[in-house]
């Protein structure tokens, strides 16, 4: 949309808006979205886009699923919010029980928060205080992986890849942790083992995005890599934190990515698709062993965290409705079908110059380039073709709703092939 056709609210509000990760001096006016339905986003002016990314990987059932909307409408009218200190409500208690039932192993305790980053902050504090409560107060460092991403708050940023998390810029703010490559081969495994062995009594935990490192470049690793990480964490007494904020709720083809490796982390973070893409909610789950370290007579042993909108009833009602849909409809089957459609649909990109790799896992399809393409230009071309796809770094990727149809995927992958072919046909 050009600015002369932009609605009044967009032009009037623009001088007051500060966008995420954006150089505002050169930023284009964003697209004005006015409504959503299924896999479609309608823009002011009447154009409709096919959505290739489910709004930062949240809208797993597509937008405006009637079951989720009905549950939220009912909850909104009855009780949108009450504080979680001293007051209990059914949506949160039901949701906690259901999440504990779905999560692997004995991840039986659920601490709610309002965003993924905060769920990660809670996980870090939980791990640190777990060791502290057990008399191991020297265990204050985390091992994290290159290309990992865990959020934008200070604690989460400190365990995000140093380049992605802009550690240089925030050097004086960030605690120092230990970074290592995902151990994909025996050499990598030995490096992880050696690091743990050298630092054994100072490591509180290892944090990993299981099977897929999302915002750090949609990089995949195998289930046995995750099993190795889990095995060494256990051996050296470090807690394993699985950040399933992106991978959870079917995105990789199983309910949680950890399920594919039969790994039970000590702490697990979920968010994003938890509410079916409607409203912010996240949770940090802990095993019985972790939880029990917080019990005792001393108040100071209690977990020291409590966000104002913790366990917001409206968000919990949305999450319960979203879980109903996972029970009633074959979302995991759909994710597996999407893996085949995305792999087949994107395969022709392998033959395009500059393409390093094409890969798919669950409902994630990725085209990786050897060098960074001109992302803003690609975004503009995708928009012209009527699809909502946002390349970043050196990848173009698709993470559609798990309910996306074969036709939707064919259109999305077809546009990617068309746009990338035209780009590479141009003189360098
Ligand atoms: N962890 C992972 C793996 C994520 O992908 C994200 C968000 N992209 C976060 C944490 C942070 O979540 P939020 O943006 O809700 O704070």
pLDDT at 208 over 50: yes
pLDDT at 399 over 90: yes
Q: Which residue has the tokens 């141009």?
A: 426
Cα–Cα dist 270/116, whole Å: 7
3 state SS of 299? helix
CA nearest ligand 1 atom 10, residue:
150
Q: Please, what is the Cα angle at 288 between 177 and 95, to 5 degrees? A: 95
Please tell me the distance between residue 212's alpha carbon and the centre of ligand 1 in angstroms. Answer: 13
Please tell me the distance between residue 57's alpha carbon and the centre of ligand 1 in angstroms. Answer: 10
**Mean of pLDDT over the chain:** 96
Please tell me the distance between residue 175's alpha carbon and the centre of ligand 1 in angstroms. Answer: 19
196 lines ligand 1 (CB under 6 A): no
For residue 163, is it within any domain?
yes
Number of domain units in the chain? 2
Let me know whether 382 and 318 are in one domain.
Answer: no
Using pLDDT thresholds of 50, 70 and 90, give the confidence band for residue 72. very high
Let me know whether 47 and 81 are in one domain.
Answer: no
Cα–Cα dist 399/257, whole Å: 15
Per-residue model confidence (pLDDT) at position 81: 98
209 lines ligand 1 (CB under 6 A): yes
pLDDT at 142 over 50: yes
Contacts of residue 280, Cβ cutoff 8 Å, sequence gap at least 6: 114, 115, 271, 315
Contacts of residue 170, Cβ cutoff 8 Å, sequence gap at least 6: 154, 157
248 lines ligand 1 (CB under 6 A): no
Cα–Cα dist 91/167, whole Å: 39
CA nearest ligand 1 atom 5, residue:
246
CA nearest ligand 1 atom 13, residue:
116
244 lines ligand 1 (CB under 6 A): no
Structural domain including 258 reads 66-328
Let me know whether 337 and 323 are in one domain.
Answer: no
Let me know whether 195 and 308 are in one domain.
Answer: yes
Cα–Cα dist 80/233, whole Å: 41
Cα–Cα dist 308/312, whole Å: 9
DSSP letters along 341-352, please?
HHHHHHGGGGGS
- Could you give phi then psi for residue 90, rounded to 5 degrees? -60, -45
For residue 132, is it within any domain?
yes
271 lines ligand 1 (CB under 6 A): yes
For residue 4, is it within any domain?
no
DSSP-assigned beta bridge partners for residue 424: none
CA nearest ligand 1 atom 15, residue:
116
**387-388/48-51 β-pairing:** parallel
Please tell me the distance between residue 118's alpha carbon and the centre of ligand 1 in angstroms. Answer: 9
For residue 24, is it within any domain?
no
Helix pair 90-102, 313-328: axis angle to 10 deg: 40
Let me know whether 213 and 168 are in one domain.
Answer: yes
Let me know whether 83 and 151 are in one domain.
Answer: yes
Please tell me the distance between residue 354's alpha carbon and the centre of ligand 1 in angstroms. Answer: 29
Please give the C-alpha separations between residue 80 and each of 31, 84, 319, in angstroms, as whole numbers. 30, 12, 14
DSSP letters along 354-413, please?
TEEEEEEETTEEEEEESS---HHHHHHHHHHTTEE---BTTEEEE---TT--HHHHHHHH
What is the CATH number for 382?
3.90.1150.10
For residue 122, is it within any domain?
yes
% pLDDT > 90, the chain: 93
Q: Of 302, 328, 354, which residue constitutes the final position of a domain?
A: 328
Cα–Cα dist 343/365, whole Å: 7
Please give the C-alpha separations between residue 2 and each of 29, 35, 136, 220, 419, in angstroms, as whole numbers. 8, 19, 59, 38, 21
3 state SS of 111? strand
For residue 371, is it within any domain?
no
What is the CATH number for 310?
3.40.640.10
Ligand 1 atom closest to the Cα of residue 56 is 8
For residue 302, is it within any domain?
yes
Let me know whether 227 and 317 are in one domain.
Answer: yes
Cα–Cα dist 346/363, whole Å: 13
Let me know whether 272 and 408 are in one domain.
Answer: no
246 lines ligand 1 (CB under 6 A): yes
pLDDT at 92 over 70: yes
Contact status, residue 96 vs residue 110, Cβ threshold 8 Å: yes
Per-residue model confidence (pLDDT) at position 65: 98
Contacts of residue 23, Cβ cutoff 8 Å, sequence gap at least 6: none
Per-residue model confidence (pLDDT) at position 116: 98
Let me know whether 287 and 392 are in one domain.
Answer: no
Pocket test for ligand 1, best of 272, 281, 364, 390 (most atoms within 8 A of CB): 272
pLDDT at 1 over 50: no
Q: Can you point out the beta strands (E) in 263-361?
A: 267-270, 282-286, 355-361
Please tell me the distance between residue 28's alpha carbon and the centre of ligand 1 in angstroms. Answer: 25
For residue 25, is it within any domain?
no
- pTM of the predicted model over 0.85: yes
243 lines ligand 1 (CB under 6 A): yes
**109-113/141-145 β-pairing:** unpaired
Per-residue model confidence (pLDDT) at position 424: 64
Mean pLDDT for 187-214 is 97
Let me know whether 144 and 249 are in one domain.
Answer: yes
pLDDT in tens, 246-284: 999 999 999 999 999 999 999 999 999 999 999 999 999
CA nearest ligand 1 atom 7, residue:
151
Which residues belong to the active site?
Answer: 21, 149, 243, 272
Least Cα distance to 362 among 396, 398, 323 occurs for 398
Quote the DSSP letter at residue 180: E
Let me know whether 203 and 275 are in one domain.
Answer: yes
Let me know whether 109 and 211 are in one domain.
Answer: yes
Please tell me the distance between residue 102's alpha carbon and the centre of ligand 1 in angstroms. Answer: 21
């Amino acid at each position: 949309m050009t600015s002369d056709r932009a609605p009044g609210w967009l032009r009037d509000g623009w001088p007051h808006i500060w966008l995420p990760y954006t150089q505002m001096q050169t930023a284009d006016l964003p697209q004005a979205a006015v409504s959503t339905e299924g896999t479609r986003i309608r823009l002011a002016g009447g154009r409709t886009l096919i959505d290739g990314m489910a709004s930062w990987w949240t809208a797993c059932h597509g937008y405006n699923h009637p079951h989720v909307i009905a549950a939220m409408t009912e909850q909104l009218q009855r009780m949108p919010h009450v504080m979680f200190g001293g007051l209990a409500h059914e949506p949160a208690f039901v949701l906690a029980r259901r999440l504990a039932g779905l999560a692997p192993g004995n991840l039986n305790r659920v601490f709610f928060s309002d965003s993924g980053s905060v769920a990660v902050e809670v996980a870090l504090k939980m791990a640190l205080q777990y060791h502290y409560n057990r008399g191991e107060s020297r265990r204050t460092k985390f091992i994290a992986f290159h290309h990992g991403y865990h959020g934008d708050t200070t604690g989460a940023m400190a365990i995000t890849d140093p380049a992605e998390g802009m550690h240089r810029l925030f050097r004086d703010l960030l605690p120092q942790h230990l970074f290592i490559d995902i151990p994909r081969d025996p050499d990598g495994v030995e490096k992880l083992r050696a690091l743990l062995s050298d630092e054994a009594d100072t490591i509180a935990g290892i944090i990993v995005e299981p099977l897929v490192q999302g915002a750090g470049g949609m990089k995949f690793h195998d289930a046995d890599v995750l099993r190795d990480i889990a095995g060494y964490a256990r051996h050296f007494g470090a807690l394993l934190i699985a950040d399933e904020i992106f991978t959870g709720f079917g995105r990789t083809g199983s309910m949680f990515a950890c399920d594919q490796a039969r790994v039970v982390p000590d702490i697990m973070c979920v968010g994003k698709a938890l509410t079916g893409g409607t409203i912010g909610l996240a949770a940090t789950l802990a095993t019985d062993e972790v939880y029990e370290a917080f019990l005792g007579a001393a108040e100071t042993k209690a977990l020291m965290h409590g966000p104002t909108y913790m366990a917001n009833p409206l968000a919990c009602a949305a999450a319960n409705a979203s879980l109903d849909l996972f029970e009633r409809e074959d979302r995991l089957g759909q994710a597996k079908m999407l893996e085949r459609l995305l792999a087949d649909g994107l395969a022709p990109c392998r033959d395009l110059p500059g393409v390093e790799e094409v890969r798919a896992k669950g409902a994630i399809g990725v085209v990786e380039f050897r060098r960074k393409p001109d992302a803003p230009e690609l975004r503009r071309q995708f928009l012209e073709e009527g699809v909502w796809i946002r390349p970043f770094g050196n990848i173009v990727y698709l993470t559609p709703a798990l309910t996306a149809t074969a036709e939707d995927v064919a259109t999305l992958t077809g546009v990617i092939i068309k746009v990338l072919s035209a780009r590479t046909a141009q003189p360098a």
